[in-house]
């Protein structure tokens, strides 16, 4: 591949796991595209965190992935950086509800951000990656892409779908220097999880502290939350040349959850 700094687009990178991934790539010298649905003025603190130790360029791209703006987001990124080397589909939202009480709009909202958006960004990125014979697609799925939990039908379905997309695209581009993989974290204590505490407490009729210990950490044999930096470190590894034969797979970082 060509020399010069590589570029990475991380969707949903103003918080939690995406922010940690963006920081890791910035520290490693990549040009980094940050994204969320929010106005740039509202996410200045996150952008500054990434810029703090960056060696490459850091740019913010507002795009609401629930509004099918994924392909356009990639076009804007390529316009800015001239190419896309690494695409990390990280944006995701959760909705906790018994399936028969789940509104269709909530089902569609979760699916459009976790699954449809990945389809759209991949569609936008592949022509450029194919033209240069090198690329990395890293989908942040979940342990819930491999196993289910009650009250998370939309999320579990979307994440299982994301693994299907990962495998299919990996096969399609395997001879073109492009790898496509998924990372499946267990519980990581980010705003996404903190926001679930109240809903889970209500759904299970227990306290928020009990949700942490009895629901979230119960399936993780280590009894510890995964750190966002652990996921970021794996993403950085998958982006490297030494990971060129890892494709079409899912890597669990779940404290042993899915070993059961």
- The residues of the shown chain that bind ligand NAD, judged by CB under 6 A, are 12-18, 35-38, 64-66, 90-93, 113-114, 140, 142, 185, 187-188, 190-193
**Residue 86: its H or E element:** strand 86-89
CB-wise, 38 or 172, nearer to ligand NAD? Answer: 38
Q: Which residues of 244-256 are buried (b: 16+ CB within 10 A; e: fewer)?
A: eebbbebbbbbbe
Least distance (Å) from ligand NAD to the CB of residue 164? 16
Least distance (Å) from ligand NAD to the CB of residue 147? 12
CB-wise, 115 or 170, nearer to ligand NAD? Answer: 115
Residue located via tokens 């089902």: 107
Task: Output the CA torsion sign for 35, 37, 40, 43.
Answer: negative
Least distance (Å) from ligand NAD to the CB of residue 160? 12
C-beta separation of 62 from 39 below 8 A: yes
Least distance (Å) from ligand NAD to the CB of residue 185? 4
Task: Name the nearest CA neighbour of 128 among 79, 196, 167, 170.
Answer: 79
What angle, 0 to 180 degrees and rounded to 10, lies between the N-to-C axes of helices 70-81 and 117-132? 30
CB-wise, 38 or 199, nearer to ligand NAD? Answer: 38
CB-wise, 153 or 190, nearer to ligand NAD? Answer: 190
Which of the following is catalytic: 60, 151, 155, 187? 155
Verify whether residue 155 is a known catalytic residue: yes
Q: What are phi and psi of 62, to 5 degrees?
A: -75, 130
Q: List the catalytic residues.
A: 155
């Amino acid at each position: 591949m060509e020399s010069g700094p590589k570029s990475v687009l991380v969707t949903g990178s103003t918080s939690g796991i995406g922010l940690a991934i963006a920081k890791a790539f910035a520290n490693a010298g990549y040009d980094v595209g940050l994204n969320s649905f929010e106005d740039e003025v509202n996410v200045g603190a996150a952008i500054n965190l990434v810029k703090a130790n960056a060696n490459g360029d850091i740019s913010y791209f507002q795009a609401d992935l629930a509004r099918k703006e994924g392909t356009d987001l990639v076009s804007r990124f390529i316009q800015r950086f001239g190419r896309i080397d690494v695409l990390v589909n990280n944006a995701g939202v959760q909705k906790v509800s018994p399936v028969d009480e789940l509104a269709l709009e909530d089902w569609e909202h979760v699916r459009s951000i976790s699954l449809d958006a990945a389809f759209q960004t991949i569609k936008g990125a592949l022509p450029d990656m194919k033209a240069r014979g090198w690329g990395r697609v890293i989908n942040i799925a979940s342990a819930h892409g491999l196993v289910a939990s009650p009250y998370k039908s939309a999320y579990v379905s979307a994440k299982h779908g994301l693994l299907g997309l990962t495998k299919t695209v990996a096969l399609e581009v395997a001879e073109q220097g492009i790898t496509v993989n998924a990372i499946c974290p267990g519980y990581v204590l980010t705003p996404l999880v903190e926001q679930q505490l109240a809903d889970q407490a209500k759904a299970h009729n227990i306290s928020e502290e009990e949700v942490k210990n009895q629901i979230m950490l119960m399936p993780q044999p280590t009894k510890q939350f995964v750190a966002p930096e652990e996921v970021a470190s794996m993403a950085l590894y998958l982006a490297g040349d030494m990971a060129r034969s890892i494709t079409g797979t899912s890597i669990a970082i779940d404290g042993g959850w899915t070993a059961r």
